[in-house]
Structure 1
Amino acid sequence: MWFKNVQIFQLKDTENLDTNELVSKIPDFPLKECGSQEEHSFGWLPLIRNSEQWTLAGDRCLLFRAGKEEKVLPAAVVREELEAKVSEIELVEGRKVGRKEKQDMKDELVFTLRPRAFSKRSDIWGYIDLKANILVLNSTNAGMTELLFKHLQTTLGSFPMTPLQAQVSPTSIMTDWLIKNDVPASLETGDECEIQDSSEDKATIRFKSLEPLSEDVTQHLQQGMSVKNVALRWTDKVSFVLHDDLTLRKVKFDDTLKDAAFNDSQGGGLADMDANFALMSLTLRELFDSLSLWFEISSNNE
């Protein structure tokens, strides 16, 4: 369960956030199967399939997992059925089918076919860190993130949070790092980055297997382009691609960290998860402190 993507939000009003209440209420709002005419359903899932372990706590952090079940109705199937019906009407009745009639027919087809559509499940992991006052998600998918927030609010009644509030532009900071060869001491550049110009069409250049500090990259930055994302490695613990919205993608925790978690585990699924979570949450808490320093992220208490 080592996160491969990381999106961080700051918690507000943490004095009134009771994680014990969340622990007790999560089993009351589980993921349920989609109804025959539902597009999707969303709810909490046990951390381990077919178990009663809904959460995991440690060092003021609480891990949880939610899931989405959606009816998958391929567009090609609907289109094929619609084209057949339209062709039949035009042949039998000798008239063209108008746009509104065609849309009504499509809506009716979707209604008829949806109960027979197959269901697909996806999940999203997250945890609350009350020491750092943050919510950490393993997804950068906006749709899943929104569903999770709504479900947290449904479960608790309210769940105040806010995206990270950087006081300086992450794009300008990362651009300066590369132009001035002034990357923070705890960071090393990786082998990819994406830069963008300031024109209306926002033309981008993606560099792969290339040192971001190389002249091939920096000469474009000196001509006015800016960094959208850059691959970095932090304190020999974790590597990632840092984006201008402060999300971390392609996250890879170092093998020495994973080995340490393995050595701390007592063996077994939940014990392994507990050990992994303890080291991962501590590492991301420390990384968040560094992000706050580099980008002047304001505290929610200010």
Structure 2
Amino acid sequence: MWFKNLVFFQLTDTEQFNSNDLVSKIPDFPLRECGSQEEFTFGWLPLIRNSEQWTLANDRCLLMRAGKEEKVLPSAVVREAVESKVAEIELMEGRRVGRKEKADLKDELVFSLRPKAFAKRTDIWAYIDLKAKLLVVNSTNQSMIEQLFKHLQHTLGSFPMAPLPAQVSPATVMTDWLISNSLPASLETGDEVEIQDTSEDKAKIRFKSLEPLSEDVTQHLQQGMLVKQLALKWTDKLSFVLNDDLTLRKVKFDDSLKEAAFNDSQGGGLADMDADFALMSLNVREFFENFSTWFEINEQ
């Protein structure tokens, strides 16, 4: 259950937010199956399949899980159906099919094919930390994140959330770290970095299996390029790739934390999840205290 991505959003009005209200309302807005003509549905899911456990609370943190069910119509199938129909019309009626008519044909065919399409489910995990005033999401998929926000608002009527208010440019900060070899004391560089030109071309160079502090990297930065992604390790607890939008990918918690959670667990699915969540949320909260100082993130 350990998150593989960390995307932070700030809770702007925790005094008006009632976690008990959210806990009680979540079961009333579950994920349901797509109707025959629905493109997708979105809703809450139990933390464990076929259970009635919708949330998990620990030290002012609340874990939840949502999901999206969508009808999958492969573009190749739609394209083949449209081309077949266009060829039939042109042969039978002896005329060319125009762009607008093709678009209309595509809409009609999608409408007729959708009820036969397979349904695919994707889930998204998140938790609210009232002490740190954060919403933490285990996804970098913007579409899924937007659906999660909308569903939180739909469930509660409103949800007091905003992007992190960083006072400095993350790309500039990371670039300065590498040029001057002045990372914060709790950080070490990993072996992955992506840099980007500041010109209109936005040319990118990605280095892998290479020390970001090497001359191959820093010479490009000294010529004006900026760090877009940087692999880092925080203390002995967490490694990740930090993006210039302050999202974290490829998050890996140290095995010692997972072993400690295993030892704390009483055994069983929910007990294991509870132990994992307790240690994960505690360490993420501690990490964010450092993170917020690096990028001058102020409370709103």
- TM interval, short-chain normalised: over 0.9
Q: How far apart in 2 are the matches of 1:100 and 1:202?
A: 35
- Residue pairs, 1:271-290, within 5 angstroms: 271-290=271-290
Q: Which residue of 2 aligns with 1:189?
A: 189
CA deviation vs aligned residue, 1:189-220 (integer Å, no higher than 9, x gap): 00010011111011110000001011111111
Amino acid at match of 2:274: D
Structure 1 ranges of 4+ moved more than 4 A: none
In structure 2, how many angstroms separate the alpha carbons of the residues matched to 1:100 and 1:174?
48
Q: What does residue range 1-302 of structure 1 map to in structure 2 within 5 Å?
A: 1-300=1-300
Structure 1 distance, partners of 2:292, 2:232, is 16
Displacement of 1:93 in angstroms is 1.0
Deviation at 1:160, TM superposition (A): 1.5
The alpha-carbon deviation at position 12 of structure 1 amounts to 1.0
Which secondary structure state, in structure 1, belongs to the residue aligned with residue 15 of structure 2?
helix
Distance, in Å, in 1 between the alignment partners of 2:292 and 2:102 is 53
Between the two proteins, the alignment pairs up a number of residues equal to 300
CA distance, structure 2, for counterparts of residue 201 and residue 244 of structure 1 = 18
More deviation, 36-45/101-110? 101-110
Q: Render the CA deviation track for 1:28-68: whole Å, top value 9, x for unaligned.
A: 00000001000000000000000000000000000000000
Superposed CA offset, 1:150-209 (max 9, x none): 000000000011111111111111111000000111001000100111110111100000
How many angstroms apart in 1 are the aligned matches of 2:255 and 2:79? Answer: 48
1:271-296 deviation line (CA, Å, top 9, x unaligned): 00000000000111011111111110
CA distance in 1, matches of 2:294, 2:90: 65
Deviation at 1:261, TM superposition (A): 0.4
How far apart, in 1, do the equivalents of 2:36 and 2:92 lie? 33
TM-score (norm 1): 0.99
- Code of the residue aligned with 1:65 in structure 2: it is R
Identity across aligned pairs (percent)?
78
The one-letter code of the counterpart of 2:26 is I
Any unmatched runs of 5+ in structure 1?
none
In the superposition, the TM-score normalised over structure 2's length comes to: 0.99
For 2:37 and 2:210, locate their aligned partners in 1 and report how far apart those are by CA, in whole Å: 50
AA partner of residue 298 (structure 1): N
Q: CA deviation at 1:109?
A: 0.4
Of residues 77-86 and 9-18 in structure 1, the stretch that sits farther from structure 2 once superposed is 77-86
Find the aligned partners of 1:156 and 1:232 in 2 and give their Cα distance.
37
Aligned partners of 1:242 and 1:82: how far apart in 2?
A: 43
Deviation, 1:91, is: 0.9
